[in-house]
Structure 1
Amino acid sequence: MQLSIYQVDAFANAIFQGNPAAIVPLETWLPDETLQNIATENNLSETAYFVPEGENYHLRWFTPSTEVRLCGHATLASAHVLFAHLGYAKAQLNFNTLGGLLSVRKEADQYVMDFPADEPQPFHVLKSLEHILGIQILEMVKGTDDYLALIDSEASLAALQPNFRLLSDLKTRGLIVTAPGTSTDIASRCFFPNFGIDEDPVTGSAHTLLAPYWCKKLGKNSISAIQGSTRKGQLHCTLKGDRVELMGKAQTYLQGTIWV
């Protein structure tokens, strides 16, 4: 069987920035084992698959090791493939997912994703996590899937060299470490060793937690954000009640064919 595949840099203003995702459009679902094997072979943080479902699309995401509940950058990349390569002509795309109904619309050269906000819950600072990170944590909160840890500066964030083996002992999907930004309102790095991703370059789903956390702290409804260490991506977050709009660009890196 031959399948089309696209690799897209999401939340990227140019090629070689942002977070790469593999996108495989399907007419009908393949066995889950095949979907996972393709994702493992791709060895990117996410491989996304979508199938037409009425007027919407059913969208699923796989890391190299497992299926996930919510993924922002691969949703953005999937929308880019539909709008830019597969001739989708309506104003808005709707995706049915494990994380609920997600919509994406195109505005000029950017995409706006509408996601459910992840309301931060107070959580005590884990001293063991300070040891793993080698830095003082000023505050911690917990979201549906992740811990979020606040540290003092973007410079400290860039210098982090966490012990990924110890991080994999966390009883969450992963860890978001954040600090005030220098060129943007906020900065972050995201670590998901439990899901086969030591560090994710740009994580849309993390910003469903970062946006309500920082909007409250800064007294704003809209913030600019940067994520990553060597490979950075940029996005804009707007809090609208219990929803978060995430805006960013996407760039096609490759288009090809896989045989399975």
Structure 2
Amino acid sequence: MSAKIPLFQVNAFTDRPFSGNPAAVCLLHEDREPAWLQGVAAEMNLSETAFLLPQGQDFQLRWFTPTLEVDLCGHATLAAAHVLLNQNLVPADQPMTFHTRSGPLIARQVGNYLELDFPIQPIVPTELPELLIAGLGITGAKLKFLGKTPADYFIELDAETLRGLQPNFPTLAQVPGRGVIVTAKADVPEADFISRFFAPAAGIAEDPVTGSAHCSLYPYWSEKLDKKQLTGFQASGRGGWVKVRGEGERVVLGGQALLIWQGELVV
């Protein structure tokens, strides 16, 4: 039998059970082959599984969906930081540095929130793929803005249309890129904007709360609303809240997290 490997599930960007975005967090003793990491992520069958490997006082961090490795993931980073603090593996007053495919990322505890220091993901206007409109089931007239981030398409709609979307996921999966960020000005008083995120090509039909999407949502809505600190609500079935503010070319994401279960991998 292989050495037992600690495994956790954390709901990110929420303080309540059965809401937010669940992520698995695996604490590795040694580096493992990508095929093994991908197999674990497929077994967990969550939108992301985070793998942590100590590197001195820092950690290597990798993220896998059930089908592929991704370059950036906010909610699984929040979940990883929560596990390290919950298991007393780092001091509560010490920033955590994660070495990732998107460069070093910093997490720290600030009051009741965890804050993540992520790079801004800029948006540029782009042409409209017919598959995108067909996959979302809307008309081009509904679009208030269409752009492209380094990984995703980015669309602004009105709030009613956003909440009513019922995508054709097989069609949407044919759109090039990681996924589609859909956003609207908030229709709830507690938030500045709302969003949804679809990534069927990455094995995720609809992601409950997408931290990395807020690296593009922040600069877009900050300029549009002329505000430097914003609150986003991701209007998925589970729902979740993300506080965002800018620091130069970086975005600070703030959220809460809750440990749901913990166990051990024995394979």
Say whether the fold is shared (TM-score over 0.5): yes
Equivalent residue, structure 2, for 1:164: 169
**1:192 is the counterpart of 2:194:** no
Is the counterpart of residue 141 in structure 1 residue 139 in structure 2?
Answer: no
| Cα separation, 2, equivalents of 1:114 and 1:255 | 26
Kept after mapping to 2: 8 A contact 1:200/1:228: no
1:92-143 deviation digits (Å, cap 9, x = unpaired):
0000000111000101221000000011112234444233222221211111
1:155-234 superposed matches below 5 A: 155-183=160-188, 184-234=191-241
- In 2, distance between residues paired with 1:130 and 1:12? 31
Q: How many angstroms apart in 2 are the aligned matches of 1:182 and 1:193?
A: 26
Instruction: Quote the residue 1:119 is aligned against.
Output: 122
Give secondary structure in 1 for the equivalent of 2:242: strand
Is structure 2 residue 248 aligned with structure 1 residue 254? no
Q: Is the 8 A contact 2:155 2:181 kept in 1?
A: yes
Task: Give ranges in structure 1 of 5+ residues lacking alignment.
Answer: none
- Structure 1 residues 19-64: Cα deviation after superposition (integer angstroms, max 9, x where no partner): 0000011121112111111110000001111111122110001110
Q: 2:246 aligns with which of 217, 229, 239?
A: 239
- Inter-partner Cα distance in structure 1 for 2:133 and 2:230: 27
After the TM superposition, which of the residue ranges 73-82 and 233-242 deviates more from structure 2?
233-242
Q: Secondary structure of 2:118's match?
A: strand
CA contact (8 A) 2:131 2:171 kept: no
Superposition pairs of residues 8-19 of structure 1, within 5 angstroms = 8-19=10-21
Residue aligned with 1:202, SS: coil
Q: What is the rounded CA distance, in whole Å, between the counterparts of 2:62 and 2:149 in structure 1? A: 21
Return 79-88 or 62-71, whichever deviates more.
79-88
Residue type of the alignment partner of 1:120: I
Q: Distance in 1 between matches of 2:67 and 2:34?
A: 12
- Partner Cα separation in structure 1 for residue 133 and residue 68 of structure 2: 28
Q: Are 1:6 and 2:13 an aligned pair?
A: no
* 8 Å contact from structure 1 (residues 5, 255) kept in 2: yes
**In 1, Cα distance between the equivalents of 2:135 and 2:198?**
12
Q: CA deviation at 1:148?
A: 0.4
Secondary structure at 1:81's aligned position in 2?
helix
Q: Residue by residue, what CA displacement relative to the aligned partner does 1:131-182 show, whole Å, maximum 9, x if unpaired? A: 32222212111111001001012x2211100111111111111000111112
Q: 1:67 aligns with which of 66, 69, 79?
A: 69
* Residue 44 (structure 1) aligns with: 46
Taking structure 1 as the reference length, the TM-score comes to 0.96
**Runs of 4 or more above 6 Å deviation:** none
* Cα distance in 2 for residues equivalent to 1:158 and 1:152: 9
For these two proteins, the number of residue pairs brought into alignment is 259
Aligned-residue identity in percent: 42
Q: Which residue of 2 aligns with 1:28?
A: 30
**Of residues 97, 100, 103 in structure 1, which corresponds to 2:106?**
103
